[in-house]
């Protein structure tokens, strides 16, 4: 939270026992969701379902044991997918537990983190698809074409899921409210 220290100020608060205590009070901008409460709950469940589908597909693709998964330009993008997936999962859990009015730190740890990790998943799954296609064209013998096709389909599924997820994120719009802005 050191990153957002300018959004807080210390305020002296007197406790019922008569003791004075320093309390941090939020003075920064608020981000308010423009969706109704029922639509926001629906989008939260969509987010969670898409993250779970993406994660299980990537984990399942790792169990295929295709020959392309032993090649660096196929394996590295696939293995690198897991870091953005973890960040996406953490951001989605934070988004599901958040309210419709967010502080700046919460906004960046949910909405912005989800968007960035989704974009990274799109990039890495595209790289894995491209690498696997190159491997199938140039380096694959005829014995394990089916496993490579299943792996490629899994990566395409991850790509499609994240493209849908990115489109859903554009529908959840937040408006900035600055409590100390004077017109």
Q: Which domains does the chain have, with CATH numbers?
A: 29-176 (1.20.120)
- Per residue in 84-96, pLDDT (tens digit) is 999 999 999 999 9
- Per residue in 51-93, pLDDT (tens digit) is 999 999 999 999 998 888 889 999 999 999 999 999 999 999 9
CA neighbor of 124 nearest in space, from 105, 116, 145: 116
Which sign, positive or negative, has the C-alpha torsion 53, 43, 99, 81? Answer: positive
Please tell me the pTM assigned to this model: 0.88
What Cα–Cα distance (Å) separates residue 44 from each residue in 35, 54, 99, 161, 180? 12, 15, 11, 15, 30
Distance CA 144, CA 123 (A): 26
Kind plus residue range of the DSSP H or E element containing 26: strand 20-26
């Amino acid at each position: 939270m050191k990153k957002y220290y300018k959004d807080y100020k210390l305020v002296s608060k007197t406790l019922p026992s008569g003791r004075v205590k320093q309390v941090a009070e939020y003075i920064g901008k608020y981000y308010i969701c423009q969706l109704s409460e029922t639509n926001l709950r629906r989008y939260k469940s969509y987010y969670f379902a898409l993250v779970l589908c993406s994660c299980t597909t990537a984990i399942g693709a790792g169990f295929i044991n295709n020959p392309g998964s032993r090649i660096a330009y196929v394996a590295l993008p696939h293995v690198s997918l897991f870091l953005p997936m973890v960040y996406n999962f953490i951001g989605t859990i934070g988004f599901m537990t958040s309210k419709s009015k967010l502080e700046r730190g919460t906004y960046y740890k949910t909405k912005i983190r989800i968007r960035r990790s989704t974009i990274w998943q799109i990039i890495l799954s595209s790289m894995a698809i491209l690498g696997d296609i190159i491997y199938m064209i140039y380096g694959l013998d005829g014995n394990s074409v089916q496993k490579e096709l299943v792996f490629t389909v899994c990566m395409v599924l991850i790509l499609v899921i994240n493209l849908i997820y990115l489109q859903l994120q554009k529908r959840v719009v937040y408006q900035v409210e600055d409590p100390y802005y004077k017109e």
